[in-house]
A and B are shown apart, each in its own frame.
Chain A
């Protein structure tokens, strides 16, 4: 077996780059560790000293206010010093720029990089480079790379499912929408399979599914009504207009008609099914406001849990 660059020689998590290939015990231990962090947010002093004196750099080569903010809050609640860098990627020498930036920040005694990049594999490249320059005490957390992975989103989704459904063993989960462009969907599918969810469905038009998506361990449905029948969890994806090249869809109105989550489509799922969305939502495109604001939606709890899960990941990486 090839060495997983995320793990150190003791099999402990050193970087979080992707959920794909992570042992189940590590995922479970992150979810377990996140639970007590949820309570920190309810204190008068919303801070614990686990990362005191550590410098966490948020390296956002692609804009994302929400993800950056949740990482920033998580690091600050762990008492780390947080430095936000929004780095313009318009340069033609991206590779050089990226690693030059890393070298400079390593020289500033960084302890952790939280990396968001439009290119798949960028966080992996940084982790590899840190090892090559003998700076692999610096930890790397992938905050979303291209279409590849968004592991902390996948983990917070698993935390949310476990919170409401207690167990993964008997669940049917449907992931609905733009799977093709979605790193979130890839992280979710890997996590659900590793945690032993017996049936993972993807529901999307053929134009928004990657080739051979079945090989990821999912059942494919092109008809949303069929795909939602009897499910315990509905995970909606954002329609990524900004990533659309060419005419994959006739119109957003037509998309909503066939793939928007409306109350009548949700009625086909189990009565106690939960509705999740990674945000930001396009109301009236992939989700009806009546569902987004309804009693089955757990979209805002996802945001709250996301901070606890990111605190767990960062404190675990800093400790290993």
Chain B
């Protein structure tokens, strides 16, 4: 199994990658559930002033009927005006790209952003769509039989685990 840096360290490196490119007007949108945890941390770390957004992209996924509602019962909440905004979508792991495709579709139902970027903690390969992260501190290759999951422990710290599917 490939070794993986600690999630907390990756968060720090992700913030460093993003810092030169964000302005106070930049808005973050986390994807439930792991992406929201990271976005909450980045929002504080980068001192952003736009309120934090979150998305449950289940309704836009192409496999809703097989997977049902991922990300639990949490609804989407975009508490800022999307039109003409600079938005960074935040997720934990970039894999097939289907979640990001769904997130882009959903985002555009709220308005027409000026620019949309993507920040993830880790890119595990296996893309099925032409999608790439703008900010990504770590890449690795995992076989399709394994999934890379971000978990939050009771004390609030983030941790990656590799799970056999």
Contact yes or no, B75 A48, CB < 8 A: no
Classify chain B: how many residues form its interface, as a range. 10 to 19
Q: Which of B2-10, B87-95, B104-112 contacts A (4 or more CB under 8 A)?
A: B104-112
Residue A263 lies at the interface, judged by CB distance under 8 Å to chain B: no
- Nearest residue (CB) in A for B83 is A44
A50–B110 CA distance with the chains assembled, in angstroms: 17
Residue A254 lies at the interface, judged by CB distance under 8 Å to chain B: no
Residue B60 lies at the interface, judged by CB distance under 8 Å to chain A: yes
Contact yes or no, B64 A32, CB < 8 A: no
Within the complex, the shortest CB–CB distance from B30 to chain A, in Å, comes to 15
Within the complex, the shortest CB–CB distance from A301 to chain B, in Å, comes to 16
Residue A118 lies at the interface, judged by CB distance under 8 Å to chain B: no
B50-76 vs A: 1/0 string, CB under 8 Å? 000000101110001110110001111
Contact A33-B59, Cβ < 8 Å, known A39-B76, A44-B111, A45-B110:
no
- Nearest residue (CB) in B for A36 is B75
Contact A319-B68, Cβ < 8 Å, known A35-B73, A35-B75, A36-B75:
yes
Contact A39-B77, Cβ < 8 Å, known A48-B59, A49-B59:
yes
Contact yes or no, B110 A36, CB < 8 A: no
A37–B64 CA distance with the chains assembled, in angstroms: 14
Contact yes or no, A36 B64, CB < 8 A: no
A87-112 vs B: 1/0 string, CB under 8 Å? 00000000000000000000000000
Within the complex, the shortest CB–CB distance from A313 to chain B, in Å, comes to 14
Can you identify 23 A-B contacts, CB atoms within 8 angstroms? A32-B69, A32-B73, A33-B68, A33-B69, A33-B73, A35-B75, A36-B56, A36-B69, A36-B73, A37-B59, A38-B75, A39-B76, A39-B77, A40-B59, A44-B110, A44-B111, A45-B110, A47-B109, A49-B59, A50-B64, A315-B64, A318-B65, A319-B66
A319–B73 CA distance with the chains assembled, in angstroms: 17
Residue A166 lies at the interface, judged by CB distance under 8 Å to chain B: no
Within the complex, the shortest CB–CB distance from B67 to chain A, in Å, comes to 9
Contact A50-B73, Cβ < 8 Å, known A43-B109, A45-B110:
no
Contact yes or no, B65 A36, CB < 8 A: no
Number of residues from A at the complex interface, CB < 8 A = 18
* 14 further contact pairs, Cβ within 8 A, besides A33-B73, A315-B64: A33-B69, A36-B69, A36-B73, A36-B74, A36-B76, A39-B75, A43-B109, A44-B111, A48-B59, A49-B60, A49-B105, A50-B59, A319-B64, A319-B66
Contact yes or no, A36 B59, CB < 8 A: yes
Question: For residue A43, which residues in chain B have a CB less than 8 angstroms away from its CB?
Answer: 109-110
Contact A48-B65, Cβ < 8 Å, known A36-B73, A39-B75, A43-B110:
no
Within the complex, the shortest CB–CB distance from A42 to chain B, in Å, comes to 9
Question: For residue B65, which residues in chain A have a CB less than 8 angstroms away from its CB?
Answer: 318-319
Question: For residue B109, which residues in chain A have a CB less than 8 angstroms away from its CB?
Answer: 43-45, 47-48
Question: For residue A49, which residues in chain B have a CB less than 8 angstroms away from its CB?
Answer: 59-60, 105
A40-63 vs B: 1/0 string, CB under 8 Å? 100111011110000000000000
Question: For residue A50, which residues in chain B have a CB less than 8 angstroms away from its CB?
Answer: 59, 64
A246–B105 CA distance with the chains assembled, in angstroms: 58
B97-117 vs A: 1/0 string, CB under 8 Å? 000000001100111000000
Question: For residue A35, which residues in chain B have a CB less than 8 angstroms away from its CB?
Answer: 73, 75
Within the complex, the shortest CB–CB distance from B158 to chain A, in Å, comes to 24
Within the complex, the shortest CB–CB distance from A24 to chain B, in Å, comes to 17
Within 8 A of B (CB), among A1-56: 32-33, 35-40, 43-45, 47-50
